[in-house]
Amino acid sequence: MLSVLRTTWPLLLGILLLMVGNGMQGTLLGIRGAIEGISTTEMSVVMACYFGGFLLGSRTVPGMIQKVGHVRVFAALGSMISNVLILYAVYPDWIVWALLRLLIGFCFSGVYITAESWLNASASNQNRGQALSAYMIVQMLGIIVAQVLMNTSDPGGYLLFVIPSVLVSLSFLPILLSRQPAPQFSTIKRMSFTRLFKVSPLGCIGIFLMGGVFSAIFGMASVWGSLKGLSVSEISAFVAAIYIGGLVLQYPVGWFSDHHDRRMIVMVLALLGLIVSFVTLYVQPGIWGLLLTAALIGGVANPVYSLLLAYTNDFLDASDMAAASAGLLFINGIGAMTGPLITGWLMSELGPEGFWVYIGFLLGALTLYAGWRRTRRPTPVQDQNFAVIAPLTTPLAIEAALENAGSDDVSRAAE
């Protein structure tokens, strides 16, 4: 791991700063929206637009990179992100925020694709797995650090918008000044959704449901906290706990997934998330109980996403895995776009409890569907190792992670 850090630290540092900026803007808008008197329904539209922009970027930015190159796309999108982060504070109107969130989602998708392609090119076949693990850890650490920075100033002022803008601007320096040359970029081939659903109905339905769960957590947690009357420090700790739980539980869940039926693990984790959601709904715990709840929900949402990708790829040849994963990512994006909208509607109808009702409903649906799918066909031969993949990852990192997981199998078979 140390050798990986020595060669990739500029890229990882840049990605860390990017994630800090992204993590701050998501939490800050939810809190600032309450201060500005923006309704829950309006904030749900604002939050949903990020995922719409991210999905649009994942489909169109690769073509932009092929036309004008990594450096120009990266610099253009990066400068746009810095500008948007400042404009939030200048125009605190929900329609303006929605348009800015759409734009910043598009831009973040583009810079992630560029950064991930550089990281993938800088790693060798021998250390690619370690590089990708470091990348996933850095992603989550960035969001956790962002929550700490949320407590450095008043969310009703300007400074908390300036900090992520500066950090995002600084993130480009280590990446653009890295000695690693810009890599060759090729687009991932497509797989029809009809074929993808035939390959794995559970993968398609499960990824759609988890898109809704993740976007509700990532987009609406701070809105929920504001409605509950939590302080800024409590909201930031709640969001941080979500990612700490995801970071801690990814690897033990991954070990179990390589030794047992993945559908059973998906079902058990989703059931755990369902129980946690409805216990929280009815018990109404204090802040320490909420932090435990957040860690458990994050520990469910992140591994289940990776599990569903690995399960789908158990039915595919290596040559089709990248195309299938790109298709699943698109389905996840559709689910993510609907998540904040439905959560916002439920919260406006039921109050803050609508947040847990929505998450619990989706996890309950996944529990039932995974259990039913276990009765439809036997457990596949699990040739594809579990790859730790964050829901915010672009198709490029997914392709590299799956290639690395597959290469581990080949190397073990040769020993």
- CA 359: distance to chain centroid? 16
Residue 398 has a pLDDT of 54
Half-sphere exposure of 155 (CA within 13 A, CB side): 24
Residue 297's closest CA among 345, 358, 346, 255? 358
Comparing 138-147, 339-348, 357-366, 403-412, the range with the smallest average pLDDT is 403-412
Q: How confident is the model at residue 147 (pLDDT cuts 50, 70, 90)?
A: very high
pLDDT of 386 above 60: no
What sign results for the dihedral spanned by CA atoms 300, 150, 212, 171? negative
pLDDT digits (tens, 9 = 90+) for 11-32: 788 888 888 988 898 899 999 9
Residue 342's closest CA among 209, 206, 146, 232? 209
Unique residue bearing structure tokens 């898109």: 211
pLDDT of 393 above 70: no
Residue 35 has a pLDDT of 92
Which is more confident, 355 or 253? Answer: 355
Q: Distance between CA 7 and CA 269 in Å, rounded? A: 36
Annotate the chain with three-state secondary structure.
Answer: CHHHHHHHHHHHHHHHHHHHHHHHHHHHHHHHHHHCCCCHHHHHHHHHHHHHHHHHHHHHHHHHHHHHCHHHHHHHHHHHHHHHHHHHHHCCCHHHHHHHHHHHHHHHHHHHHHHHHHHHHHCCCCCHHHHHHHHHHHHHHHHHHHHHHCCCCCCCCCHHHHHHHHHHHHHHHHHHCCCCCCCCCCCCCCCCHHHHHHHCHHHHHHHHHHHHHHHHHHHHHHHHHHHHCCCHHHHHHHHHHHHHHHHHHHHHHHHHHCCCCHHHHHHHHHHHHHHHHHHHHHHCCCHHHHHHHHHHHHHHHHHHHHHHHHHHHCCCCHHHHHHHHHHHHHHHHHHHHHHHHHHHHHHHHHCCCHHHHHHHHHHHHHHHHHHHHCCCCCCCCCCCCCCCCCCCCCHHHHHHHHHHHHHHHHHHHHC
Q: How confident is the model at residue 98 (pLDDT cuts 50, 70, 90)?
A: very high
Residue 128 has a pLDDT of 56
Q: What average pLDDT is seen over the chain? A: 81
> How many percent of the chain have pLDDT more than 90?
31
Q: How confident is the model at residue 10 (pLDDT cuts 50, 70, 90)?
A: confident
Average pLDDT over residues 272-277: 93
Q: How confident is the model at residue 415 (pLDDT cuts 50, 70, 90)?
A: very low
Asked whether the beta carbons of 212 and 335 are under 8 A apart, the reply is: yes
pLDDT of 376 above 90: no
Half-sphere exposure of 260 (CA within 13 A, CB side): 12
Residue 414 has a pLDDT of 31
pLDDT of 190 above 80: no
What sign results for the dihedral spanned by CA atoms 37, 39, 42, 48? positive
pLDDT of 241 above 90: yes
Comparing 167-171, 188-192, 260-264, 275-279, the range with the smallest average pLDDT is 188-192
pLDDT of 238 above 80: yes
Comparing 7-11, 97-101, 165-169, 365-369, the range with the smallest average pLDDT is 7-11
pLDDT of 381 above 70: no
Residue 410 has a pLDDT of 35
Average pLDDT over residues 384-391: 55
Half-sphere exposure of 236 (CA within 13 A, CB side): 22
Tokens of 181: 């040359």
Tokens of 407: 């290469």
Q: Distance between CA 277 and CA 284 in Å, rounded? A: 11
The pTM is what?
A: 0.83
pLDDT digits (tens, 9 = 90+) for 106-142: 988 888 877 777 666 666 555 555 666 677 788 888 8
pLDDT of 66 above 70: yes
Residue 329 has a pLDDT of 77
Residue 299 has a pLDDT of 86
Residue 203 has a pLDDT of 87
Residue 185 has a pLDDT of 57
pLDDT digits (tens, 9 = 90+) for 332-357: 888 888 989 999 999 999 999 999 99
Q: Which residues contact 181 (CB under 8 A, 6 or more apart)?
A: 121
Q: How confident is the model at residue 409 (pLDDT cuts 50, 70, 90)?
A: very low
Q: Distance between CA 94 and CA 42 in Å, rounded? A: 6
Q: Distance between CA 366 and CA 201 in Å, rounded? A: 12
Average pLDDT over residues 380-390: 56
Average pLDDT over residues 71-82: 84
Q: Distance between CA 342 and CA 216 in Å, rounded? A: 9
Longest dimension (CA), the chain: 63
Domains of the chain: 2-414 (1.20.1250.20)
Q: Distance between CA 135 and CA 312 in Å, rounded? A: 23
Residue 408 has a pLDDT of 46
Q: Would you tell me how many other CB atoms lie within 10 Å of the CB of residue 90?
A: 10
pLDDT of 317 above 90: no
pLDDT of 397 above 60: no
Q: Distance between CA 232 and CA 214 in Å, rounded? A: 21
Average pLDDT over residues 377-402: 57
